[in-house]
Amino acid sequence: NTIKNIISLDCGNSSYRVVLGKYDGNKITTEVIAQESNGMNKVQDYYYWDLHKIFDFFIKSLKEVLKKVDKIDSIGVCTWGVDFALYDKDRNMLSNPLSYRNTIGEKSLNNLSQDEKDKMFYDTGILCDKINSVFMLSGIKEKMPDIFEKADKLLMIPDILNYMLTGVMINEPSELSTTQLFSSITKDISLEVCNKFGIPKELFNKIGVHGDTIGNLLPSIRDELGIDYDIPVILVPSHDTASAVVAIPSMEDNFAFISSGTWSLIGAELDEPVVAKEVLESNLTNELGAFNKITILKNSAGMFIIQRIKKEYDEITKRDNSWEEINNIADMYKGEVPLININNIRFFNPEHMGNEIHNYLVETNQYNGELNWSVVIKAVQESMACCYAHTIDSLEKVIGKEFKEIFIVGGGSKNNVVNELTAKRTGKIIIACSKESTSLGNIVVQIKHFEKEISLKDMRDIVKKSIDLEEYQVEIEDNSIVDRYSKLV
Ligand code: LRH
């Protein structure tokens, strides 16, 4: 049997899924085996993630996979960035992982001067951002000193799942780069940043290499699955953005992308980080991608805002409105385009997103009257496209290249309205790729376990043969709206 059955566990902020990829030596066919919604649980003062529930879901899904195939050949895990758990020296998790939407790290970021923030960027290539793990960790140090003192090891979310599966503690580099405790320049833990925040370097484990085997599935899990052979768990680029970028079907080295999910990561792939003033000024950051590539990108709010609005609107209308219905509501508005800075902190985690946007539009004289969902949804769709156009423009200036096309990957690539608006506001050809790009990237990297010589280019060639693309192209007539947006940021 030459077909390899490769499993991806892809956990996003709003949902997680198990995807079975069948690789026949030429291309991959994928099937989503199971999917569940994800969300933070608020308990008293803090928002937490439930990793044990995700683990349980994964094991159940593997059982489903085994009803469909004779053998599972390998497994890879990827998740969202920045969040982590601390373990004591006996390898017990000290607390459920906190979500980056907590404000516990805010103080240590706000206490930094501009010079200190700049220095951290020059040390790591990473922009200081409120969600970076370093700030959460220093918040834990201050507000939960007992936990901090007992901490012996730190595992990022995908590392936790890999540990639960194999019993091996390892830190994966792309995910580690979202902490800002790791330098994309030296590709190692940044002693400068660790020392500055009093974080022991010893918290970190061995840093893994993409394509290597972390370990085999634990015997207890094998027993539960009723199998008697080893399944290797492979170290894939476990930051979801890094895996999604692997699955960009570009045959050229230079390409621009938008990885669209709860967040929108707008960027390009480079060989080396750009550590310069212009990067800082454009709010770009140099994350680590697959196989030591750099993804220079802006971490922008993405579908989160519109997902929240849909949830609120569903509650009011007491029904599950389809996305088409949500888009139709926006279409009803024919007045001047309302704009919001989607990355304004007030839209990060408000009690009520619809009201927050409405209030903002009223305060900025873009609207007056009662809350109108057409206006609110329109504002979000248009502002997202303007943010993309504005960011791609700064990216081109920073790296001195112009892009003809932009690849959109991830769940958000299926939002036709935003895709069309993006084509209109950027003037570029928009190529919508797979909804399951993160899993495709995860799966295609696992092929390295079976074909040691495979290159990143070969992987992209396999992806290209495995998916259908959809193109959007619109002539720009008047783009003053992007200028109007640029003034908001
Ligand atoms: C996108 C993402 C992003 C950030 C955020 C927390 O899913 O990984 O790159 O790190 O989640």
Q: Indicate which atom in ligand 1 lies nearest the CA of residue 240.
A: 8
Question: Is residue 447 a contact partner of residue 454, using CB atoms and an 8 Å limit?
Answer: yes
**Among candidates 184, 203, 91, 187, which has minimal Cα distance to 138?**
203
Ligand 1 atom with minimal separation from the 80 CA:
8
For residue 146, the one-letter residue type is D
Q: What is the per-residue pLDDT for 232? A: 98
Least trusted range by pLDDT, from 104-108, 251-255, 304-308, 421-425: 251-255
Query: Could you give the CA distance from residue 185 to residue 123 in angstroms, rounded to a whole number?
Result: 8
Q: For ligand 1, atom 7, which residue shows the shortest CA distance?
A: 80
- Is the pLDDT score of 1 beyond 70? no
- The model's pLDDT over 142-193, given as tens digits with 9 standing for 90+, comes to 999 999 999 999 999 999 999 999 999 999 999 999 999 999 999 999 999 9
Confidence check: pLDDT of 477 > 80: no
Q: Which of 82, 287, 307 to mutate to test the pocket of ligand 1 (most atoms within 8 A of CB)?
A: 82
CA distance 421 to 475: 11
Cβ proximity of 66 and 225 under 8 Å: yes
| CA dist 56 → 43, 59, 224, 328 (Å) | 21, 5, 12, 38
**Closest Cα to atom 5, ligand 1: which residue?**
81
The predicted structure's pLDDT at residue 478: 81
- Asked if the model's pLDDT at residue 323 lies above 90, the reply is yes
Polymer length in residues for the chain: 489
Q: Whose CA is nearest to atom 6 of ligand 1?
A: 81
Q: Ligand 1 centre and the CA of 105: distance in Å?
A: 17
Ligand 1 center to residue 98 CA distance, Å?
A: 14
Indicate whether this model's pTM tops 0.90. Answer: yes
Determine the Cα angle at 4 with ends 442 and 292, to 5°.
Answer: 30
> Catalytic residues, which ones?
240
CA distance 477 to 424: 8
For helices 373-399 and 353-363, give the axis angle rounded to 10 degrees: 80
pLDDT tens digits along 266-282:
999 999 999 999 999 99
Mean pLDDT of the chain: 96
- CA–centroid distance, residue 185 to ligand 1 (Å): 20
Percent pLDDT > 90 in the chain is 97
pLDDT of residue 253: 86
How many other C-beta atoms can be found within 10 angstroms of the C-beta atom of residue 371?
16
Q: Is the pLDDT of residue 67 over 90?
A: yes
> What residues are in contact with ligand 1 under a 6 Å CB criterion?
12-13, 80-82, 100, 131, 178, 239-241, 261-263, 265, 299
Band of residue 476 on the pLDDT scale cut at 50, 70, 90: confident
Return the ligand 1 atom nearest residue 302 CA: 1
Question: Which alpha helices (H) appear in 157-206, and where do they start and end?
Answer: 157-166, 173-176, 191-197
| Cα of 267 from ligand 1 centre, angstroms | 13
Cα 229 to averaged position of ligand 1 atoms, centre (Å):
34
pLDDT digits (tens, 9 = 90+) for 28-61: 999 999 999 999 999 999 999 999 999 999 999 9
Residue written as tokens 């999910």? 261
* CB-CB contact of 66 with 227 (8 Å): yes
ipTM: 0.96
For residue 396, the model assigns a pLDDT of 97
**How far does residue 388's CA lie from ligand 1's centre (Å)?**
17
Closest-lying ligand 1 atom to the alpha carbon of residue 259: 1
- What ranges in 335-415 are assigned the alpha helix state H? 353-363, 373-399
Q: Which pLDDT score, from 0 to 100, does residue 479 have?
A: 85
C-beta neighbour count of 366 within 10 angstroms:
16
Q: Which atom of ligand 1 is nearest to the CA of 12?
A: 7
Candidate from 135, 245, 299 with most ligand 1 atoms within 8 A of CB, to mutate: 299
Residue whose Cα lies nearest atom 10 of ligand 1: it is 81
CB of 413 closer than 8 Å to CB of 437: yes
Q: What is the DSSP string of 22-45?
A: EE-SS-EEEEEEEEEE---EEETT
Mean pLDDT (whole number) for 12-27: 97
* Contact indicator for 62, 17 with CB cutoff of 8 Å: no
* Contact predicate 30/465, CB 8 Å: no
Give the integer Cα–Cα distance in Å for 269 and 254.
7
